[in-house]
Amino acid sequence: MLDASRRPAGVSIAAGARCETLARSRPHCHPAASPLDSPAVRLAIPRETAPREQRVSLIPETVGRLVKSGFQAAVETGAGLAAGHPDDAYRAAGAGIANDFAACTSGAQVVFKVREPSEAEIAAIPEGALLLGLLGRGEDAARIERYRTRRLGVFSLNALPRISRAQKMDALSSMAACAGYKAVLLAANTTGKFFPLLMTAAGTVAPARVFVLGAGVAGLQAIATAKRLGAVVEAFDVRPAVKEEVQSLGATFVDMALGEAGVGAGGYAKELDEQRNEQIRQTIAARLPVTDVVISTASIPGRKAPLLLPAAAVATMRPGSVIVDLAAESGGNCALTQPGTTVVDHHVTIHGPLDLAATLATHASQMYSRNLYELIVHLAKDAKLNVDFSDEITRGCCLTYDGRAAGELTAAGKSA
């Protein structure tokens, strides 16, 4: 007979159940081994429940690599379905399938998430387990306190140091690339114009003019996508170092001679004084009357997004123009943006999408899964957890560990 105590309740192990039936008539038949019946580090991949979320933290390909390297894995049923990965694909990769969140995370040493877990989910995660995902930068004090109460080791890809060794774990860049691409498609689907130049029997159709605000990963992807569709593209960024990247993609860089004033730590943009911000807004506004589409991506980590498009400037755009504000979640670059919805003001359509990367669930999950894979193999050696706070990456992306705040963690020594 199967020993139910050897595996978490709710985990489906069909082979073992069939063998149990045979064992009644064949005493020599023993139950098939469960992928969870081993002393190896157990990984949990629960289903995401946040609104609009369609991604999964680990895809079957990544799970298979981890299982082959010595880990064991449990996947909540339906976790990968919205991203194109049915339960059978995870079974084939060597994972067990759990009926619900509690069964999936029961006994887990590491829990993978895309978005922050709910209060109930935090309470169900085993005390002392590691929690990996896009979990903020520690700004939610109440949530951090719940993590500390459960003594969870929380490692957020939002807080990953921007160093070369961490590039393979850079989920923010992965998701920004998805968002930049999808923003252009959203704009193209909304505008009443062709993006490319067309020579037709009915005459010449001029190409759409696209203005990209911010030339980080999302902005560069937006530039590349708009150019592929045939638009005339301009771009602006407060960091002069991105000028060559913008031009290499075939776009015109709008230079304001700000020098290094807009460059912050790690190469991110930083907040400018009001005089420079007004100079930026005037430069942008001067181009809006001849712009068909604005893709706005400007953001500052941990701060409210800079206001680049006042209502008066939007009013100068031609009727039918489109703004896609990718900074909507942090307040928006446009004064008229309403996060999570679309509005029409001054005959201009303004999109304020949230979690746009989640709408590209299949490829976004593929990229995110690879980022998480690099993080877990960084935190483990030979499939055994080896959390080393002397390492800059480990220390930098840890929000709390074993009941301690990130600032209390030692910069030397190891802890498992």
Catalytic residues: 162, 167, 170, 173, 268
Interatomic CA distance for residues 249 and 212, integer angstroms: 12
CB contact at 8 A, 97 and 90 = yes
Straight-line distance from the first to the last Cα atom of the chain, in angstroms, rounded to the nearest whole number: 36
Q: Beta strand 293-296 with 209-213: parallel, antiparallel or unpaired?
A: parallel
What is the 3-class SS of 68-96, one letter each residue?
A: HCCCEEEEECCCCHHHCCCHHHHHHCCCE
**Closest residue by Cα to residue 385 from 374, 394, 376:** 376
According to DSSP, residue 305 is labeled P
Interatomic CA distance for residues 411 and 125, integer angstroms: 27
User: What is the separation of C-alpha 143 from the centre of its chain, rounded to a whole number of angstroms?
Assistant: 19
Strand ranges of the sheet holding 209-213, from the earlier edge strand across to the other edge: 252-253, 232-236, 209-213, 293-296, 322-325, 348-351, 342-345
Interatomic CA distance for residues 212 and 297, integer angstroms: 8
Q: Which two tokens stand for residue 5?
A: 């105590």
CA angle 386, 391, 393 (to 5 degrees): 100
CB contact at 8 A, 376 and 384 = no
Interatomic CA distance for residues 260 and 356, integer angstroms: 30
Interatomic CA distance for residues 185 and 173, integer angstroms: 19
> Would you call 223 helix, strand, or coil by DSSP?
helix
Quickly list DSSP for 141-197: HHHHHHHHHTT-EEEEGGG---SGGGGGG-HHHHHHHHHHHHHHHHHHHHSSS-SS-
* Ramachandran quadrant class, 283 (left: phi over 0; alpha: psi -120 to 50; beta: rest): alpha
